[in-house]
Structure formats: C-alpha cells, structure tokens
Amino acid sequence: MEYFYVPPSYVSPPHLTIDGEEFQHLSHVMRKEPGDEIRVVDGKGNVYDVRIIDIVKREARCEITAHRIMENEPNISVTLAAGIVKNGARFDFLVEKATELGVRSIVPLATERTIPQHAKTERWQKLAIAAMKQSGRCVLPRVLPLTPFSRFIAKAGDAGAEHVPSQHAPFKLIPHEKETARTLREALASGPKDTVLCIGPEGGFSDQEVDQAVQAGFLPVSLGPRRLRTETATLAALAMVLT
C-alpha cells in the first residue's frame, strides 16, 4: 500500500488532512479518488490506514479506519553528523540511505574541509521523508541546519540536546584514517547503545578537529586500511552500529 506523510498536527481523529507536495503526489501522480484507501505516517511512529472521503482544491480529507504504532525502529538512537561534500548528489545519497538504515537525526557539519554553499537542509529533509516512506519507517529523522564542527562536538554529549535525541549520555565515535589501535567493531563489542557517529568530509577531519573531538569525549576508531568516501564510510559504520 502506498505511504503518505503528514505532520502530527494534521491528524485529528477520526480524520486527517493531506496537503502540499503529498497531496500533489496523491492527486496528480497516483490519481487517488474518494473511496480509495491509503496508508499515512506522521513521522512520530504512528501509522494510519485511511479512506479518502473528499478531495477539494489543494487538500484531501481522510477518515481513519485503523491506527497502530510501528515497532520496526532500532532499539538505539543514532545521531549521524557528517561533513558535507563537494558533490551534492553524494550527500543526497547519504541522507537517503542513513534514513533507510534507521538513524534518528542527521547533522550536516561545516568542517575545515567542507564547502558550505552546498548545504540544502530543506531538500535533505524532503529526501528523508521520501526515504522514510520507501523503507516502511514511521519515524522521520530530523535534518538539522548546517552546524559548525566545534559547536556540534561541544554539545554532542548532552542527553536530550536538540541534535542528539537520546535520554542518556550517548556513545560518541569518530572514525579516523590515522587511528590504528581500535576498530569500530572492537569499540562496539560491549553491546548496542545510543550513539553519536561523526563522519568526516572529503579529505577527512584535520588532526586538530580529531584532537578537539577526543577532548570532548569522542572515541577515535578505524574503519579499516582503506580511505573511504564520506558516504561509503557512513554506510559501513551505520551497518555495524545498528546491527
């Protein structure tokens, strides 16, 4: 069944409303009509089976026929902080796949080796919505605005901080190509826990940035002997953290 997304404020049982780009997709692409049944998620874990009862101008009014809370989310909360890259399409890919894998929030980082003009927070949030629906998730990761690296790591250890949706002090990891003493798999040996994962941009983090992260409580880890692109390192690390 086709998934559609509405913010929680659009849900007022026993009805909900679909408008904006989701309505355009429903009405003009999928050609849905009154009487058709669809599935709607609110990005907070709720899924609704609904019947379209009316389509007027720029919105569809729907009747909720069933409601449940999805339980397909990871048992841990993972925040991904990644340096944005020169090729915008590659960061688009990163956002899409990180959402599919189950991250709870995504923080684009401005580091010494990033190109800030490629930051497109609104676009990345829309990509996260699409990836959430495609993968059958009902929790929408929040994509935060571009954040300076130093500001992020200074607050990343605060439980409940805006960019770290965890009620406990998270496990903070920073993969780095010069780290040889500890692999990510070894660091995760103690079992799953809420995690902040900091991935470098093209060229990686500078030595000064890594030192700054270590002072803030981040643990340097290795992803292996090869130099990986930002999006490759992200997927490799998330696959280990989330499984």
For 98, the domain range is: 78-241
CATH of the domain at 236: 3.40.1280.10
Residue where one domain finishes, among candidates 21, 44, 69 = 69
Give me the mean pLDDT over the 20-44 stretch.
96
46 and 125 inside one domain: no
Q: What is the pLDDT of residue 112?
A: 93
Peptide bond into 14 cis (omega under 30): yes
Which candidate, 224, 204, 191, places its Cα nearest to that of 149? 204
Per-residue pLDDT band at 156 (split at 50, 70, 90): confident
172 and 190 inside one domain: yes
CA distances to 89, 180, 197 from 109, rounded to whole Å, are 16, 24, 12
Residue where one domain finishes, among candidates 41, 69, 97 = 69
pLDDT at 160 over 60: no
Residue where one domain finishes, among candidates 51, 69, 87 = 69
Q: How many CB atoms lie within 10 A of CB 35?
A: 8
Q: What is the pLDDT of residue 164?
A: 57
Tell me how many domains the chain contains. 2
Q: What is the pLDDT of residue 168?
A: 63
Give me the mean pLDDT over the 110-130 stretch.
89
11 and 120 inside one domain: no
Mean pLDDT, rounded, of the chain? 92
Does the pTM of the predicted model rise above 0.85?
A: yes
Q: And the tokens for 198? A: 């900091």
Q: Which residues pair with 37 in a beta bridge?
A: 51
